[in-house]
């Protein structure tokens, strides 16, 4: 499955055309998508809210057991196999002419699955990668959020891990698959376009984006909050203070603090900005030294502190945006087959700019991009015309977005048709069922219309028939099967 996906990705990258798919939540959706979509997406969000391995359902915080998404992959992969066998059996019973005119469905569509943060430390990433490969996933995406601080990419409050920590996760997954001799694709996702918190300041590659205060009069937020708690102030008061603090305190990067300081006290702004642009990975200590050198003798040192605004959990504030996200995508590039930048709204221009930067960093053109055509966006806003909405997928495919997915399509389509049916059924009874479901199944040629056949009843009857002859009376699709009514 991984090889099949790899070849498909190569082919589409070469022709700048998309592999576009929908997230499926169950075997029924898998079978309906198989004739039309070339890959199958399994969403962590959907698993979290619909089916976890503890049956507990809740928002997409990645807090479900790590076998949750692999289990869903296994369920869908087993269903792919069952429907493939059923199809083989049904086709074997056809005449050559009938077979030739009956469309063949490739049920074995490679599965792209959600590995979230990797669900823990590096050994957890390896175990998760192992499970995904064993269960039938072709590709898995890992995002640079902190396990325990993770949220759906389109929620607030996301906590990122240092760049290097995520690189290690990508390496861990590849290491695991190399040990197993499998060729699964690694998809590196970054949530840094909107993730405003960072778990640690240890990686110099993140320093240019970490925010601090440049006003020496501001007290440590965490210390003030702890003092309020000790004084017995109410939770509401503490929350309100914190919200007002975050709202009212100006947070800047070290470079911004330097520029302001130089403007006030005189200093070589251009010299400083040129040097840090040349070496974006310069660590904070080196930046301080550089600033001090360019400021000159006898002037007050630049005041800037990234510890003062740290959250109660100890997280640093991070300047989220496409600049950080592009840098991270490029940093993850050598360790991934495909790159995914999670964005806050759909824009061809933003996508094109990212693609250009990735192409420049990887000129062989072998780093395909993934795009989340998320239902978390309001596709009715954002100024699309019917034409630009229709061409969106193909427009960004031209830029290199080779794999595109409507992450939660299965969830939403399921809810929509059920809502329509439930409302009408309440008043119109069976007329509603026929109108909303049965007639449309027939018109569209949905094979679930005859659900016994769809489920493989003929196929299993044939298996039983080869174990024991002369038992036509106990055949499930024999006389008495109501599906004959559809003939």
Question: What single DSSP character describes residue 487?
Answer: -
159 binds, options ligand MIC, Mg ion, none, Cβ within 5 to 8 A by partner type: none
365 is in an annotated binding site: no
373 is in an annotated binding site: yes
CB of 448 to ligand MIC, least distance (A): 24
Instruction: Give the whole-angstrom CA distance, residue 277 versus residue 275.
Output: 5
Our CB check for Mg ion shows the closer of 112 and 276 to be 112
Indicate which single residue of 22, 146, 152, 338 sits in contact with ligand MIC (rule: CB under 6 A).
152
- Longest CA pairwise span in the chain (Å): 103
Q: Dump the DSSP string for 206-228.
A: HHTTEEEB--TTPPPHHHHHHHH
CB of 211 to ligand MIC, least distance (A): 23
136 is in an annotated binding site: no
The encoded tokens of residue 26 equal: 């169950």
45 is in an annotated binding site: yes
CB neighbour list of residue 76: distance below 8 Å, 6 or more residues apart: 24, 26, 27, 30, 40, 42, 111, 136
Tokens 């310069």 sit on residue: 282
Taking a C-beta distance cutoff of 8 angstroms, is the pair 145, 160 a contact?
Answer: yes
Taking a C-beta distance cutoff of 8 angstroms, is the pair 23, 411 a contact?
Answer: yes
Decide the pairing of beta strands 338-341 and 368-372: parallel
Our CB check for ligand MIC shows the closer of 131 and 406 to be 406
What separation in angstroms does the CA of 252 have from each of 208, 274, 295, 301, 339?
10, 19, 19, 16, 29
For 411-423, b where at least 16 C-beta lie within 10 A, e where not — what string?
bebbeeeeeeeee
Is 152 considered catalytic here? yes
Segments in 266-347 forming alpha helices (H) = 269-278, 284-295, 322-332
Our CB check for ligand MIC shows the closer of 164 and 375 to be 375
114 is in an annotated binding site: yes
Instruction: Give the whole-angstrom CA distance, residue 417 versus residue 423.
Output: 10
Decide the pairing of beta strands 197-198 and 316-318: antiparallel
Our CB check for ligand MIC shows the closer of 141 and 261 to be 141
Our CB check for Mg ion shows the closer of 407 and 450 to be 407
* Interacting residues with ligand MIC between 37 and 66 (CB under 6 A): 43-45, 60
Regarding 149 and contact with ligand MIC (CB under 6 A), the answer is: no
Regarding 114 and contact with Mg ion (CB under 5 A), the answer is: yes
* Interacting residues with ligand MIC between 351 and 410 (CB under 6 A): 372, 374, 376, 407-408
CB of 187 to Mg ion, least distance (A): 11
Of 450, 448, 462, 420, nearest in space to 34 by CA: 448
**Chain-centroid distance, C-alpha 205:** 23
What separation in angstroms does the CA of 176 have from each of 129, 143, 179, 321?
7, 17, 5, 32
Indicate which single residue of 44, 162, 195, 368 sits in contact with Mg ion (rule: CB under 5 A).
44
198 is in an annotated binding site: no
Our CB check for ligand MIC shows the closer of 43 and 163 to be 43
Instruction: Give the whole-angstrom CA distance, residue 357 versus residue 437.
Output: 47
374 is in an annotated binding site: yes
407 binds, options ligand MIC, Mg ion, none, Cβ within 5 to 8 A by partner type: ligand MIC
Regarding 309 and contact with Mg ion (CB under 5 A), the answer is: no
- Indicate which residue of 79, 112, 152, 172 is catalytic: 152
Give all strands of the β-sheet with 252-253 in edge-to-edge order.
159-160, 197-198, 316-318, 210-212, 252-253
CB of 403 to ligand MIC, least distance (A): 12
* Interacting residues with ligand MIC between 405 and 424 (CB under 6 A): 407-408
Our CB check for ligand MIC shows the closer of 251 and 408 to be 408
471 is in an annotated binding site: no
CB of 69 to Mg ion, least distance (A): 9
Instruction: Give the whole-angstrom CA distance, residue 263 versus residue 251.
Output: 18
Indicate which single residue of 74, 114, 193, 208 sits in contact with ligand MIC (rule: CB under 6 A).
114
CB of 460 to ligand MIC, least distance (A): 34
342 binds, options ligand MIC, Mg ion, none, Cβ within 5 to 8 A by partner type: ligand MIC
Residues in contact with ligand MIC by CB under 6 A are 23, 43-45, 60, 114, 152-154, 342, 372, 374, 376, 407-408
Residues in contact with Mg ion by CB under 5 A are 44-45, 114
What residues form the annotated binding site for Mg(2+)? 114
Q: Give the residue numbers marked as catalytic.
A: 152
What residues form the annotated binding site? 43-45, 114, 153-154, 189, 372-376, 407
């Amino acid at each position: 499955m991984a090889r099949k996906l790899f070849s498909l990705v190569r082919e589409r990258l070469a022709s700048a055309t998309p592999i576009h798919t929908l997230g499926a939540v169950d075997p029924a959706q898998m079978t309906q998508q198989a004739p039309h979509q070339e890959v199958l997406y399994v969403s962590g969000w959907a698993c979290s809210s619909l089916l976890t391995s503890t049956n507990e359902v809740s928002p997409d915080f990645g807090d479900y057991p790590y076998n949750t998404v692999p289990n869903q992959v296994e369920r869908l992969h087993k269903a792919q196999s069952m429907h493939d066998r059923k199809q083989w059996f049904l086709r074997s019973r056809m005449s050559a002419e009938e077979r030739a005119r009956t469309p063949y469905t490739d049920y074995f569509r490679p599965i792209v699955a959600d590995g979230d943060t990797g669900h823990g430390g590096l050994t957890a990433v390896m175990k998760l990668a192992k499970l995904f490969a064993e269960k039938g996933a072709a590709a898995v995406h890992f995002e640079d959020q902190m396990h325990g601080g993770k949220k759906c990419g389109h929620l607030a409050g996301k906590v990122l891990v240092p760049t290097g920590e995520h690189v290690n996760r990508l390496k861990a997954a590849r290491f695991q698959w190399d040990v197993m001799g499998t060729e699964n694709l690694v998809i590196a996702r970054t949530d840094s376009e909107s993730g405003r918190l960072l778990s640690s300041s240890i990686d110099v590659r993140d320093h240019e984006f970490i925010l601090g205060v440049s006003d020496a009069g501001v007290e440590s937020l965490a210390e003030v909050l702890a003092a309020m708690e000790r004084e017995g102030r109410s939770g509401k008061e503490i929350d309100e203070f914190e919200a007002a603090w975050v709202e009212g305190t100006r947070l800047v990067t070290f470079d911004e603090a330097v520029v302001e300081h130089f403007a006030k006290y005189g200093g070589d702004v251009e010299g400083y900005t040129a040097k840090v642009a040349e070496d974006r990975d310069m660590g904070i200590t080196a930046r301080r030294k550089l600033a001090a050198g360019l400021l000159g003798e006898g002037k007050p040192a630049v005041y800037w502190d990234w510890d003062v605004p740290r959250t109660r959990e100890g997280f640093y504030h991070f300047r989220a945006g496409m600049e950080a996200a592009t840098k991270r995508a490029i940093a993850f590039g050598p360790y991934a087959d495909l790159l995914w930048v999670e964005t806050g709204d759909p824009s061809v221009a933003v996508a094109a700019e990212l693609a250009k930067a990735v192409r420049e960093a990887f000129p062989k053109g072998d780093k395909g991009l993934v795009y989340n055509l998320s239902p978390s966006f309001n596709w009715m806003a954002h100024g699309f015309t019917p034409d630009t909405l229709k061409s969106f997928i193909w427009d960004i495919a031209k830029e290199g977005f080779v794999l595109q997915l409507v992450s939660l399509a299965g969830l939403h389509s399921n809810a929509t048709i059920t809502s329509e049916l439930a409302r009408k059924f309440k008043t119109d009874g069976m007329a509603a069922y026929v109108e909303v479901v049965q007639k449309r199944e027939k018109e569209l040629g949905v094979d679930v219309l005859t659900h016994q056949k769809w489920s493989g009843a003929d196929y299993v009857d044939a298996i039983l028939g080869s174990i024991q002859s002369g038992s036509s009376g106990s055949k499930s699709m024999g006389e008495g099967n109501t599906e004959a009514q559809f003939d």
